[in-house]
Structure 1
Amino acid sequence: MMDPRPGGAPTVLRMVLGKRLQDLREQAGITYEQAGRELDVTHATIRRMEKAEVGLKIPYVEKLLHVYGVTSPEEVSGFLALAREANRPGWWHSFRDVLPDWFSAFVSLEGEAAVIRAYEPHYVPGLLQTPDYARATLRAGQPHAAPAEIDRLVTLRTERQALLSKPEAPLLWVVMDETVLRRPIGGRKVMREQVDRLIEATELSNVRLQIMPFAVGPHPAMYGPFHIFRFQLQEIPDIAYSEHLVGGVYFDERDDVSSFLEALDRMCAQAAPAQSTKAILDGMRKEI
């Protein structure tokens, strides 16, 4: 399980380099304890570096590469350059005044994933929300937040949506409960605009939407929403994310993620096929 504690929200590149350090250590036959003694730190620090739970201190990385037998100046220089890049704040760092540390990891994973799959029983996913719909949901979830803070969060949410139109955009595959479309949020005008946005999204080649009708009855994920991120880089496993009222939990253990994948695969089979989503949305649009 990933540990996105304050100051430790991992960037994807940091995760990649952590995995490469782990591979180099294991290939060299060196234990956590031995590596820790070389740096005069605890074995837990080495574990946390490999798990991307702490930043990569350049002197530590350089010393470990030497200990692990990496002697080529070009290879060392290249690794250190990547480590410096991995330690740079992501674009979302400018929103650190309103962005919780535990959600910074989500934004990083979202921005680097090749495939984003999700189940959403309550709201339209953030990547597909209109500004007015986003403002209404944020206000409902944070009733004591100042208007300026809500504005900042809406801006962050809309800027995240740019990834869907980038040259190598990820596949976004979402199963939404019918409840999402039946729950009035922000008034009729806001809901009409939001449904229109979803209809537009069905035309995108990298977006696949499925609606889970009430009529199908119970399904495997009635406990709540979740996301699954898949990456092209082999160093990074599939990662599942589940959110609760005051935080989020990230799962990267194979058995845990497999449970999420199995549930979502079953739900995709139960839900209305993606080809019919536009017709469903057109029908609901007329009812609003």
Structure 2
Amino acid sequence: MATRKQVQYGPAGSNVNGPRTWGSLLKGLREDAGLTQAQVADRVTAHPSTISHLESGRDQPTLEWAVMLDRAIGSDGRLATAYELVSPYLSLPHPDWDFFEYLRAESQAVRIHDFQAGRVSGLLQTENYMRALFRAHNPSETAEEIARRTQERLDRQALLARSDAPLLVSLIEEACLRRPVGSLDIMREELEHLLRMMEHPRVLIQVVPFGSGEGAGQLLNSMIILEMPTGQRRIYSESLARGHFLDPGLHRRFVDLFEHCRALALPQAESAALIRRLKRDLGAAETTIEAPGPLSPLEPPRPPHPLRPRKRVHLPRARRPGLAQ
């Protein structure tokens, strides 16, 4: 009787690698079923190299792939179940903003809690604000590439126009609203857009003011909490190199941090008043900027203050030590 091969779920003694962990399960189930990569590929109408890349962890799995391969192998939904378990560990490439898994989860979320430390939330940006951001962060990109990125972000905002739009709670640091992006006109347009979005029944915008202390500073990076229809939470964060979903074991900590920052934020009505004031200040700043005129003649230097004779001060002579008093 042949002994069943033990499947190693991920490299021993190392951190969890989502794609490799899931791929090792796929390989074990396929071999247990007595199927080759080519046979499985034929059943799902794919190239054998696709199956090889999924098994090695070179390609990231998706829920759709998991369901199809479960049917092809006859694994009774084990791959789909394993995908849900490893999905928080899937790393998403940041440089090209090609985070398909995040977009899929965002489109299905019923609540989106967003904290932004450096910019306005992508779901609340105007087209000109987006273009200015992309141009500043990717100065070597062509106009066509920036236009593509801008359109992709605009397409994301369509979810707020749906009849079943998710509830968006966006916390924005006051510094984001005071930091000019692009030009004064672009920034004023963005502030006006935020005021309009505050009238949306499914959008709540709160400003975390300067006076909130270090509470908001505990969230060093931007963070998005997605609540799925099943009640599951997924937390997405970005670094300079990439974006990724956080380990579920960290969820409670970061949800608590978000709620702490929200408690420090201004209510929506006061946030709107602050945004209106900042928008008004931008208009005043623009009207006070004038071209420099000719230099005014220098005033002649004042004559030095006449010296007064120094008054001699006589101090009592100190007694020499050792002498009788």
Tell me, yes or no, whether TM beats 0.5.
yes
Query: In the TM superposition, what is the alpha-carbon distance from 1:170 to its structure 2 partner?
Result: 0.5
CA RMSD of aligned residues (A): 3.5
The residue aligned with 1:126 is 122
Q: Residues 238-288 of structure 1, C-alpha deviation per residue, up to 9 Å, x if partnerless?
A: 1111101121111251x2111110100000111111232211111111111
| Distance change >3 Å, CA 63–CA 155, structure 1 → 2 | closer
The residue aligned with 2:65 is 56
Runs of 5+ in structure 1 lacking a partner? 9-17, 19-31, 70-78, 80-97
Q: Residues 41-97 of structure 1, C-alpha deviation per residue, up to 9 Å, x if partnerless?
A: 89xx79x8xx955752676322554x549xxxxxxxxx9xxxxxxxxxxxxxxxxxx
| Distance change >3 Å, CA 158–CA 100, structure 1 → 2 | closer
Question: Aligned with 2:65: secondary structure?
Answer: coil
Question: Does the 8 Å contact 2:236/2:245 carry over to 1?
Answer: yes
Question: Does the 8 Å contact 1:115/1:171 carry over to 2?
Answer: yes
The residue aligned with 1:185 is 181
2:213 is equivalent to residue 204 of structure 1: no
Task: Compare relative contact order (CA 8 Å, sep 6+) and give the higher one, 1 or 2.
Answer: 1
Question: Does the 8 Å contact 1:118/1:175 carry over to 2?
Answer: yes
The residue aligned with 1:245 is 240
Query: In the TM superposition, what is the alpha-carbon distance from 1:109 to its structure 2 partner?
Result: 1.6
Q: Residues 129-159 of structure 1, C-alpha deviation per residue, up to 9 Å, x if partnerless?
A: 0110000011111111111100111111111
**Larger fraction in helix:** 1
2: distance between equivalents of 1:181 and 1:257?
A: 28
TM-score relative to the length of structure 1: 0.70
Pick from 33, 38, 42 the counterpart of residue 33 of structure 2. Answer: 38
Q: Residues 5-43 of structure 1, C-alpha deviation per residue, up to 9 Å, x if partnerless?
A: 7xx9xxxxxxxxx9xxxxxxxxxxxxx95675126589x
Q: Residues 150-197 of structure 1, C-alpha deviation per residue, up to 9 Å, x if partnerless?
A: 011111111111110111000110111001001011111101100000
The residue aligned with 1:231 is 228
| Distance change >3 Å, CA 35–CA 135, structure 1 → 2 | same
2: distance between equivalents of 1:202 and 1:2?
A: 41
1: distance between equivalents of 2:159 and 2:246?
A: 23
Q: Residues 102-148 of structure 1, C-alpha deviation per residue, up to 9 Å, x if partnerless?
A: x2222222111111101101111111101100000111111111111
Question: Aligned with 2:214: secondary structure?
Answer: coil
Pick from 112, 120, 123 the counterpart of residue 116 of structure 1. Answer: 112
1: distance between equivalents of 2:16 and 2:273?
A: 40
TM-score relative to the length of structure 2: 0.63
Pick from 101, 104, 111 the counterpart of residue 100 of structure 2. Answer: 104
Paired AA for residue 62 in structure 1: R
Runs of 5+ in structure 2 lacking a partner? 1-14, 38-53, 81-94, 283-325
The residue aligned with 2:139 is 143
Give the share of equivalent positions with the same residue, in percent.
26
Structure of higher CA gyration radius = 2
Question: Does the 8 Å contact 1:192/1:285 carry over to 2?
Answer: yes
Paired residues, number: 232
